Amino acid sequence: MGGCTQFPALDRTITPEMEAADYPDLVPIDPLLAQAEAGRIDPRQTEAQLTGRAARLETRANRIGGARTDQAAADRLARLRARAAQLRQAGLTPPERERLEDEPAQ
Continuous H helices in the chain: 16-20, 29-38, 43-67, 71-89, 94-102
pLDDT category of residue 45 using cuts at 50, 70 and 90: confident
For residue 92, pLDDT beyond 80: no
Residue type at 57?
L
Task: Please name which of 84, 77, 89 lies closest in space to residue 54, comparing C-alpha atoms.
Answer: 84
For residue 106, pLDDT beyond 50: no
Q: Are 58 and 99 in contact (CB under 8 A)?
A: no
Greater confidence (37 vs 66) lies with 37
| Tens-digit pLDDT profile for residues 66-75 | 655 678 878 8
Residue type at 105?
A
pLDDT of amino acid 22: 92
Q: How far is CA 57 from CA 52, 69, 71, in A?
A: 9, 18, 19
> What is the percent of the chain where pLDDT is above 70?
70
What whole-number distance in Å separates Cα of residue 51 and Cα of residue 86? 10
Span 27-35, average pLDDT:
86
For residue 102, pLDDT beyond 70: no
